[in-house]
Chains A and B, each alone.
Chain A
Amino acid sequence: MIVEIGHFALILATCVAFLQAVLPLAGTMLDRPRWQALAKPTALLQFALIILAYAVLTHGAVTDDFSIKYIAGHSNSLLPMEYKVSAVWGGHEGSLLLWVLMLSGWTVAVALFSKTLPLAMVARVIGVLGWVSVGFLSFTVITSSPFERLIPAPADGRDLNPLLQDPGLIIHPPMLYMGYVGFSVAFAFAIAALLSGRMDAAWARWSRPWTIVAWMFMTVGIALGSWWAYYELGWGGWWFWDPVENASLLPWLFGTALIHALMVTDKRGGFKAWSILLAIGAFSLSLLGTFLVRSGVLTSVHSFASDPKRGVFILIFLALVVGISLTLFAWRAPKATLGGKMGLVSRESMLLANSVLLVVATAAVLLGTVYPLIVDALNLGKLSVGAPYFNAVFVPLMVPVVFLMVPGGVAHWREARWAELAHAMRWPALAAVLVGLGVLFFSARGTWLTAMGMALATWVVAGLLHQIVNRMQKPGRIPPSFWGMHLAHLGIAVVVVGITLVKGYEVERDVRMGVGDTVQIENYSFELMDVSEVNGPNYKALRGEVRVNKDEKLLEVLYPEKRRYFSSNMPMTEAAIDSGFFRDLYVSLGEPIEGERPQWSVRVYYKPFVSWLWYGSILMVLGGLLAVSDRRYRKSPAAVAA
């Protein structure tokens, strides 16, 4: 009975979303303020209904209601409670419910935080968000309802995929969805700007904080996914250029470009049409990602079970939303006026270069991801595009983006001079060259790639320190956005260091170990003390006891496991990691090996600075937080045009 209430709430929410989509927008076109005012209440009502539906599904998961087909497919009575709760978004239908919940949440946030916005603007933005909601809600209700019943109810569920029974699962998808969905707000503002014909600095100023917050969540989601893959999959990789990973990287790249382009539109009134296009693009890439992951057109380790019918629905939705947006853009954007004076060398031109490079990088990743599909569709055969391609193309494109962080910060708006810039950046340049040469000549395994990576990171860090010192010597209050920018850029430099050093200096030893055998890496020794069988709540495991010594002294005992879950008989590696600031020690237990004495295949990794990948991501997010906390986003700008 409760389940049907949830189902009904979802259907009702779809109807309310339809009202939210139609009435406020009609109100702006027919100049009816009363209809425009319906934006907030419909958004709130939709949110309440979706929360109800979500609560019903969670209740079903927590009470082991296996008469719900989705719960029977993704949960199990033996599943620990926290995973029962997270199983709600572990599969396709439930994750869609999470998606619409977040979309509705963002809409309500816009409704509540828009007191300084003119009513017509609010109406347009919420109206556009309403259309997006209609699309996703009807998709859910029609093709992927999580409330479908299974009669008769099975005695127990199929269990949550063991790969997903992990703390990382609990946070990774919600964070990622907050990002994907969050870009819909910037999108809605952009469409509202096009609809109203007012594409000036105002829309940019309003959408900046929303964009930054969405970007923050996206960064967290991607970083968590990478971290999770690292410790869960058992071989220490942290990025595979898998289509689903790429699907999350694409909107992130565009989102980064958007954040930077919006600066120019906000402060200098330039790039009006370009920012709008980027905003439409970022969300379109979110939608495209949804399509790629759920339609089955691409093979991926991550994809949900594919169903061509679902693929068709999402594709039609994608085509409509993006097609209409881009048509509106082609129609209205030419009317946008050009911004103020812009020199060939100026902060604006640096930011423009940032946009161009990030868009090309996005295009490269997108091209590589869908190329197999294109070749197949043209009946030209089947090929694969994997990590070797992406690494070869993406890295050279990103190097200039990172490089530009320094001149971009130093250059003045409007006009800057080469000589001035060069003079201002001489110390960072020197530091970078010294570090690069140092790596090349003093490090035994230092390659020119490692040298370049370290030089680049040094350039950025020295550059931002130099700018901070300079700024602090000047009078006046330093706004949080200044710190935010440098902190975020520092985060990127830290990530670059992590990637460069782990790729340049990591050591992997794939060995056969019996009890008492040791492996030596650098000044660490790993000794296998014991291998025993242990029982978990819903699995049986082989557990190794590995004693790690540093310089002959005991550092830690690690317990790598190889688990076999009852429900799926899938063997899962639980690597044991000793995580440190400067290095990770990673031990992964494999299968037993036949021989005279008992041996197991073991992989031992020494991964220097790998944690800096995640630390850098945290810094990036904190930088975003500081940027958003700037007071000017909360003050009402005087005489703002609607």
Chain B
Amino acid sequence: MITNFLGIKRLMQGVLFLLAAAAVATAQSKEAEPSAKEPLIEQRLIHISEELRCLVCQNESLASSRAELANDLREEVRLLIRQDKSDAAIKAYLVERYGDFVLYRPEVKPLTWLLWFGPFALLLCGVVGMALYVRQRQAVQKLAKPLSEKERDQVRVLLKNGESP
């Protein structure tokens, strides 16, 4: 530590030492380069390939698979990104060659209407069903009349003796 006690000479030595150490340190501990050569392209690649399927894997996305074909397809997507193709165009390119199977997000078309709209249609049915049910329960309650004195006695007797199966 350089304090006021030391002379200027010492100060200079200290500074030189620090500079040298810094030079050595920066020379040896480099900030690691990203694996990808072009980070912007890579970002788009990750975004697109997360929604694509690795065709030779059991069930993995193109983004995470390390299979050979996955590497090739990722390279192909990089090429298409460099050509400034849109996400939709890139997906269409792959679907043209490999079919709908390659998309993890199924396209919304008549074939998949049931898939995409089914749950919400079901929810609607559920809400309607619930409303009808509640109304039914309330209607039943309106019909129920309070017990008469005679019926109350009967209930008391039954509860005391215990009901048989």
Contacts and interface: CB of A to CB of B under 8 A. Distances in A.
Given A235-B64, A341-B137, A384-B53, A516 B59 contact: no
Contacts of A235: 64
Contacts of B134: 342-344, 349, 352
B115 interface: yes
Interface string A499-538: 0000000000111111011111000000110000000000
B127 to A, nearest CB: 7
B26 to A, nearest CB: 10
B58 interface: yes
B115 A360 contact: no
Given A380-B111, A385-B104, A385-B106, A367 B119 contact: yes
A188 to B, nearest CB: 19
Interface in A33-92: none
A387 B163 contact: no
A356 B64 contact: no
A388 B51 contact: yes
A495 interface: no
A341 B104 contact: no
Given A393-B119, A512-B35, A381 B30 contact: no
B100 A601 contact: no
B119 A364 contact: yes
Contacts of A243: 59
Q: Which of A118, A339, A367 has the most CB of B within 10 A?
A: A367
A371 B115 contact: yes
Contacts of A639: 159, 162-163
B119 to A, nearest CB: 4
Contact of B115 (A118, A368, A602): A368
A485 interface: no
A387 B130 CA distance: 30
Contacts of A343: 134, 138
Interface in A341-391: 341-344, 349, 352-353, 356-357, 359-361, 363-364, 367-368, 371, 375, 380-389
B59 A389 contact: no
Interface residues on B, range: 35 or more
Contact of A382 (B35, B99, B115): B99
A352 B101 contact: no
Contact of B137 (A299, A339, A375, A392): A339
Contacts of B130: 349, 352-353, 356
A301 interface: yes
Contact of B123 (A299, A356, A371, A602): A356
Given A382-B100, A384-B103, A509 B34 contact: yes
A363 B60 contact: no
Interface residues of A, number: 65
A518 B34 CA distance: 11
A384 B111 contact: no
A76 to B, nearest CB: 23
Given A120-B165, A368-B115, A387 B141 contact: no
A338 interface: yes
Nearest to A270: B137
A92 to B, nearest CB: 16
B106 A384 contact: yes
Contact of A517 (B32, B61, B99, B133): B32
A240 B61 CA distance: 10
Most buried by B among A270, A349, A601: A349
Nearest to B35: A510
Contacts of B60: 301
B119 A512 contact: no
A639 B102 CA distance: 62
A398 to B, nearest CB: 12
A511 B32 contact: yes
Contacts of B159: 639
Interface string B108-129: 0001101110110011001101
Given A363-B119, A386-B51, A601-B35, A517 B59 contact: no
Give the most central of B29, B59, B100: most A CB within 10 Å: B59
A361 B118 CA distance: 11
Interface of B: 28-36, 42, 50-51, 53, 57-61, 64, 99-106, 111-112, 114-116, 118-119, 122-123, 126-127, 129-130, 133-134, 136-138, 140-141, 159, 162-163, 165
Given A371-B106, A517-B31, 14 more contacts: A300-B58, A341-B138, A341-B141, A344-B134, A353-B130, A367-B115, A380-B111, A382-B101, A383-B111, A384-B103, A389-B105, A389-B115, A392-B105, A393-B119
5 contacts: A301-B59, A371-B114, A382-B99, A393-B119, A514-B30
Interface of A: 118, 120, 198, 235, 237, 240, 242-243, 270, 299-301, 303, 338-344, 349, 352-353, 356-357, 359-361, 363-364, 367-368, 371, 375, 380-389, 392-393, 397, 509-514, 516-520, 527-528, 601-602, 639, 641-642
Among all A-B residue pairs, the 4 with the closest Cβ atoms: A386-B104, A388-B105, A364-B119, A356-B126
